[in-house]
Amino acid sequence: MLEIIKEPWAWYVAGPLIGLTVPTLLIIGNKSFGISSSLRHICAACIPANINFFKYEWKKESWNLFFVLGIFFGGMIATYFLMNPEAIEVNPKLTEELATYGITDYSNLVPIQLMNFESLFTLKGFILMVVGGFLVGFGTRYAGGCTSGHAIMGLSNLQWSSLVATISFMIGGFIMANLILPIILSL
């Protein structure tokens, strides 16, 4: 059984399982699926500021914090018990392209040449980790939710704004991966 869990799952198995979270959350307690709102709940609970954005009944949404904690600890458990000891398999064409930028180590989920504490103090690392993190956070807030909230929950509820947001996420991802990232990697 453990070997089945360790293997990559086909899209036609994993997709419906992820998709079933939407009706499950709606049936169990009329809850919306999304991860980015948990940061707002944490801030509302921990920051005693007089900011209107954080003045709401965050305790009613505390289930979301437990959900995110479950994702975190589930990831830790999966990393410890289910991690494949082999190097991550990367398409040979992508391996060739990334080698031109000095990225050759695929022993982690993220190339160690890009994401490590020392590279945080380089221009490339600062742009990727700090500026990229800020842009993701700003974009999530500006779009009114994250990719999981819009693409999974919003689309299943036939929300027009979620369709626009998901299309925008995809276009932005294509532009970043194909046009902007090669420029940053060549720094």
Tell me how far CA of residue 113 lies from CA of 21, 94, 101, 164, 183, in angstroms: 36, 15, 10, 35, 16
Interval 96-112: pLDDT, tens: 999 998 888 887 778 88
Does residue 183 form part of some domain?
Answer: yes
Does residue 185 form part of some domain?
Answer: yes
Residues 72 and 4 in one domain: yes
Does residue 92 form part of some domain?
Answer: no
Whether this model's pTM surpasses 0.95: no
Q: What range defines the domain where residue 74 resides?
A: 1-83
Does residue 94 form part of some domain?
Answer: no
The total domain count for the chain is 2
Residues 74 and 144 in one domain: no
88, pLDDT greater than 90: no
φ/ψ region of 102 (left if φ > 0, alpha if ψ in -120 to 50, else beta) reads left
Does residue 108 form part of some domain?
Answer: no
